[in-house]
Structure 1
């Protein structure tokens, strides 16, 4: 079994902690510990709480610092955490950062049996690290938590587009803290999910017995074939850790339940599986899936990463995108992955430029109602580059929105700029220092600094658009730009000079 929340409260690091809401959750089992902060409603809805992520038995530590003045966002966090299966929150520094826990927050938590544990108020001596250490140690002593029932309950609630074997394996990986794979009798890895997500293990080599590493532990068990001629095996693979037979049997139970409820088709080739294989650079798997789906991978050259306003219309948006793209491309793959709709397409048959195809879709009335933004990655020469570009976007997605808050069409070059700047920071590059110093004279004048950022980053040097974004007359924009040019001793109409300040403005916004 896992560790009941009431047992965790007995730890020395939680001395003086008070359960101020959701006391019935004290009987629930904690399976994992995490740290939570959120800095905007958009991140809460679309970035942090993803539709295919579930926080089974998770207990979170927070100070509510970034939402300390926003009651609505505090309540939204409680609702989202509860819906995703979390047990509760430990709130630090009440009376220091967060003035107090509002009764309305506590009422919502009580109604949902979601525990809120308040650490001693106005105490700046307590530290997150102490509780993190003790709770983690306690959880490590209970590796055989009974997770199958909770996972099956959550699987019964997932939306139709997430009813895939990948969703099931992702949940199992997060709970067992192990890589999870489904392998055919022939030794082919049909599905796999990594834990941690950046794991570099070669599943194909491990399942074929070609890796000799004492630190890698694995267990496998045959799945019920449910009348099929082919047999499949469930593998749990762990780096530097211990696996138990209990975990394996529970995982088998969960997978077989998914197959029973969703149907055996979840084991067959799907566009979701193929896109996932491409983005994870799983070469053997993606070529086999492509052959089964009659997709020519060599023709794929363009990727769209589509962010939507809501999850309610995902299937409708995917259908709409499919219909639109098939007017222009011979090869089209569209599916929902990691909270985004991912498009891979190629072999364009239109006289339109491929960028115009994307822009025209984004400017349609349908898209304006449903699509937040599209990140456009063209001219992919190698299939491996799709995965590289996708990971780059996932790494910098929040920075992209911070630097370009009003943008809906992102070319991949914007992500490359941010990536190069962050690499420069890590290396203490003199180029970054030079770029920052180039706008030092403007920093004292916030109005001019803001104008330059809007002009270069948000309006792409379009004076009329800049005036609309700044809510001033276009002549005011012209006047400010003249002031800026005089202060910086530059000509913003010259491309190479404006590029320097474009990059400097990116750095400025990243640091805000």
Structure 2
């Protein structure tokens, strides 16, 4: 695909628009378009424009009022959209004339090569649907003319966080790109990777494997199943592997070549996990569904039955074999059937039954009593209701992305649960977006006495609302804690810790710690220069 913003600005619906910022982004590739209310901060938008959800190479359409700029918030929005891979936006206006772009917003867009295009003033009656139709038709035509999508898809996966860079991710993007289900077949006739598209399509992969040798390779007419699905079998270049393509429509030979080329590149980059690899955890996290099922049968542990999990993060110099043995011994006391292995310097433990609260507490106590001091600097995340493959992958992504934020918000903890990481994710997003509520709460905290803020942080985040523990951490008498909490209650109009009144307060305190942690890190970096 090679449709660039420069090409799109030649379309009839965009030809009279003009670039106002981020001109260096004119040569960026566009693969999709959508509409965004740039001035809104709804829950749906906040969820959509997160790194794991937003689309790369996306052009946005929006409208603004000529007097509706919030420079600080708008700059934050542009930074977040650019970070998530959006190319830029076409801005339509509400009013009698095209608004002037504030210098600070232009400066931000120019620095990030985030293109901002203003629609022509006389195009008042132009609808979003007309623009979207023209853009998507141009992209569709380009795909038909140039189906070499390997660089784009490999580039998109390469830009993902490390834990998502895998052949499985490439397969997902390819399946959506050509609207077909795909499977990579090894030289023994077994499935290495597979992806069903659309997701609700029923594909009997076992039956397909029984007839795969009867399907001619490369260039012959595809076999058609009884339900009308067409099956194409194609050789990967310079490889004993092949790819099965199952679709409603006949896939052209050129598209098959491009699919094979893309998959071979992905295997070269991320397919070094051979069939001799016995690590079930790796197979699950990297989306090797078939391999994971095979290893699951070998270990008599079905990943789909996973209900709970542990992720143990340790220093690089820890004795991994000894630590794994210690964790396995502890876990077997509370779980009838479990499996564990190392993945990227983290020990991941999967359990078929979810332990009770008392059993988790017992496990934590036992972990702390390690005689060999293996666990001294380890951090543990426990999770219940993991619910199979997807749940394991989501937990790992959560730990990879938000463990650092959780440790900043809860610095006295070495044991976390999944809810702690979800809380850290919410605080991190609020900080990135810097919405009205975040600013309002930070102003309230900044206006308070330092000792009152420290009491709130300690009482609500560091202790389970325990006055005795809070007094120990702050080195003050418990009556002092009571006095401060009473003073805070009178100030806020509610008792800190009582829900739901304290919901925003908890999040504000989490954001406050993240802000303070970032400021301390910046100060440290400055001092080291």
- Alignment TM class, shorter chain as reference: 0.5 to 0.7
Unaligned runs of 5+ in 2: 211-224, 329-338, 353-359, 425-446, 512-529
The CA distance in 1 between the partners of 2:22 and 2:490, in whole Å, is 61
Whether 1:478 aligns to 2:482 is yes
Cα shift at 1:188: 4.0
Partner of 1:247: 255
Whether 1:18 aligns to 2:44 is no
Matches within 5 A, 1:86-485: 86=85, 88-90=87-89, 92=91, 99-100=102-103, 102-109=105-112, 114=113, 116-120=115-119, 131-144=131-144, 145-152=147-154, 164-173=166-175, 175-176=177-178, 178-184=180-186, 188-193=190-195, 199-205=199-205, 208=208, 219-224=232-237, 226=239, 232-237=241-246, 244-259=252-267, 261-262=268-269, 265-268=272-275, 270=277, 274-275=281-282, 277=284, 282=289, 285-290=291-296, 302-304=308-310, 322=320, 325-330=323-328, 331-335=339-343, 343-345=348-350, 353-356=362-365, 375-377=381-383, 384-385=387-388, 387-388=390-391, 391=394, 406-407=409-410, 409-412=415-418, 455=459, 459-463=463-467, 475=479, 477-479=481-483
SS of the residue corresponding to residue 92 of structure 1 reads strand
How many residues align? The count is: 430
Cα shift at 1:252: 0.4
The CA distance in 2 between the partners of 1:194 and 1:278, in whole Å, is 18
The CA distance in 2 between the partners of 1:287 and 1:457, in whole Å, is 41
Unaligned runs of 5+ in 1: 308-315, 419-445, 493-497
Kindly provide the CA deviation profile for residues 228-276 of structure 1, in whole angstroms up to 9, marking residues without a partner as x: 5xxx3323456x88855433321201222344x4487445365777555
Q: With the length of structure 2 as denominator, give the TM-score of the two structures.
A: 0.55
The CA distance in 1 between the partners of 2:472 and 2:143, in whole Å, is 58
Distance change in 2, residues 1:128/1:327 (3 Å): farther
CA contact (8 A) 1:178 1:194 kept: yes
Cα shift at 1:116: 0.6
The CA distance in 1 between the partners of 2:368 and 2:16, in whole Å, is 57
CA contact (8 A) 1:304 1:343 kept: yes
The CA distance in 2 between the partners of 1:456 and 1:366, in whole Å, is 24
Distance change in 2, residues 1:16/1:127 (3 Å): same
Kindly provide the CA deviation profile for residues 41-100 of structure 1, in whole angstroms up to 9, marking residues without a partner as x: xx99xx9446xx99664445578999941698578558745xxxx572115379989845
Partner of 2:515: none
The CA distance in 2 between the partners of 1:189 and 1:128, in whole Å, is 44
Partner of 2:516: none
CA contact (8 A) 2:21 2:117 kept: no
Q: With the length of structure 1 as denominator, give the TM-score of the two structures.
A: 0.57
The CA distance in 1 between the partners of 2:397 and 2:270, in whole Å, is 31
CA contact (8 A) 2:19 2:115 kept: yes
The CA distance in 2 between the partners of 1:106 and 1:266, in whole Å, is 41
SS of the residue corresponding to residue 30 of structure 1 reads coil
CA-based RMSD = 6.4
Partner of 2:6: 6
